């Protein structure tokens, strides 16, 4: 594959090396490939686009990846029939390692792939729940560590951090905690479906982690954080997960608590009742809130 030396994002052909179940709702898949020599994750909540095969395909169907124009490849991919072209979903790079070159992606499982076995599984969950060594994928990921796929941007003057994440954003929150400078004061709220989804999190930060377990009657996201005092004079807030919860939390911090909206990073990873494809077609209500406040 031909890569541009200056392109911040490139296509990487990878294969599954191994899988490991982390809990009822999460599975970690480790990918390898010669292309990873050029992969350069920026850490924290580094995102990538993962292209997966449809059932019955042995590899994701994409146009030739040797065109130096990333947008031309994406345009040709979008022009393919929906039931043929690779399924694309956005995920977080949980960890990158060298020698050997590997990346981990943690998948939040739902429906028949989860421990609960409920209905409503999507194509990425189905693929992740059945992934085996040798399965082939393609990712559009970072080739330079400083890239726009990293949303967590700690201001230089920040003296504390508040993090809220649901199970889909738990990999990003975990990577952020590992990245936080030593002794950074952090209040962390992690909402997960089941008690078995709790896990040990590595960090050098002065972090207080609160697990909000839905099967144990966890409070709503806003109720969970409303009584929490943000330490310090210059807090920074990062919120990611279900779009409705993200919007409610952002309103709480910006409108009710009076935080500068520029110090609240918010990312809607999914929206209840909508696939990722459908979510791209509806207005971003949280972004509309931000635009109105800036007017």
Rg of the chain over all Cα atoms, to the nearest angstrom: 19
Q: Are strands 185-192 and 206-213 parallel, antiparallel or unpaired?
A: parallel
Q: Answer yes or no: is pLDDT of 110 > 80.
A: no
All domains of the chain in start order, with CATH: 9-142 (2.40.30.10), 160-294 (3.40.50.80)
The band of 230, judged by pLDDT with boundaries at 50, 70 and 90, is confident
What whole-number distance in Å separates Cα of residue 249 and Cα of residue 137? Answer: 35
Q: Answer yes or no: is pLDDT of 115 > 50.
A: no
Residue 25 structure tokens: 């709702």
**Beta-bridge mates of residue 265:** 238
Say what the alpha-carbon torsion angle 211, 217, 223, 224 is, to the nearest 10 degrees. -10
What whole-number distance in Å separates Cα of residue 88 and Cα of residue 131? Answer: 16
Q: Would you say 11 and 1 are in contact if contact means Cβ atoms under 8 Å apart?
A: yes
Q: Would you say 39 and 13 are in contact if contact means Cβ atoms under 8 Å apart?
A: no
Say what the alpha-carbon torsion angle 19, 24, 26, 30 is, to the nearest 10 degrees. -10
Residue 99 structure tokens: 């020698």
Residue 224 structure tokens: 């969970």
Tens-place pLDDT, residues 42-80 = 999 999 999 999 999 999 999 999 999 999 999 999 999
Tens-place pLDDT, residues 11-45 = 999 999 999 999 999 999 999 999 999 999 999 99
Q: What percent of the chain has pLDDT over 90?
A: 82
Tens-place pLDDT, residues 239-286 = 999 999 999 999 999 999 999 999 999 999 998 766 555 555 565 565
**Beta-bridge mates of residue 89:** 50
At 216 the pLDDT is 97
Residue 117 structure tokens: 């076995």
- 108-115: average pLDDT: 60
At 283 the pLDDT is 58
Q: Would you say 239 and 164 are in contact if contact means Cβ atoms under 8 Å apart?
A: yes
Q: Name the pTM for this structure.
A: 0.89
At 22 the pLDDT is 96
């Amino acid at each position: 594959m031909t890569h541009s030396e200056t392109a911040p994002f490139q296509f990487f052909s990878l294969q599954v090396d191994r899988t490991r179940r982390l809990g009822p709702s999460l599975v970690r898949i480790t990918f390898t490939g010669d292309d990873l020599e050029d992969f350069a994750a920026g850490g924290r909540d580094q995102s990538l686009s993962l292209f997966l095969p449809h059932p019955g395909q042995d590899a994701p169907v994409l146009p030739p990846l040797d065109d130096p124009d990333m947008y031309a490849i994406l345009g040709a991919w979008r022009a393919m029939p929906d039931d043929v072209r690779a399924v694309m979903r956005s995920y977080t790079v949980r960890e990158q390692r060298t020698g050997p070159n590997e990346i981990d992606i943690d998948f939040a499982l739902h429906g028949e792939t989860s421990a609960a076995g409920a209905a409503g599984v999507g194509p990425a969950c189905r693929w992740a729940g059945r992934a085996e060594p040798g399965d082939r994928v393609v990712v559009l990921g970072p080739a330079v560590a400083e890239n726009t796929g990293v949303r967590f941007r700690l201001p230089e003057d920040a003296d504390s951090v508040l993090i809220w994440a649901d199970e889909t954003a738990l990999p990003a929150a975990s990577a952020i905690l590992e990245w936080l400078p030593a002794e950074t004061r952090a209040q962390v709220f992690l909402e997960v479906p089941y008690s078995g989804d709790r896990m040990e999190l590595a960090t050098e930060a002065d972090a207080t982690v609160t697990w909000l377990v839905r099967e144990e009657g966890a409070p709503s996201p806003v109720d969970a954080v409303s009584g929490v005092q943000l330490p310090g004079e210059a807090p920074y807030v990062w919120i990611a997960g279900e779009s409705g919860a993200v919007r409610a939390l952002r309103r709480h911090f910006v409108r009710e608590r009076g935080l500068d909206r520029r110090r609240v990073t918010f990312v809607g990873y999914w929206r209840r009742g909508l696939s990722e494809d459908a979510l791209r077609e509806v207005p971003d209500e949280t972004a509309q809130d931000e635009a109105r406040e800036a007017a």
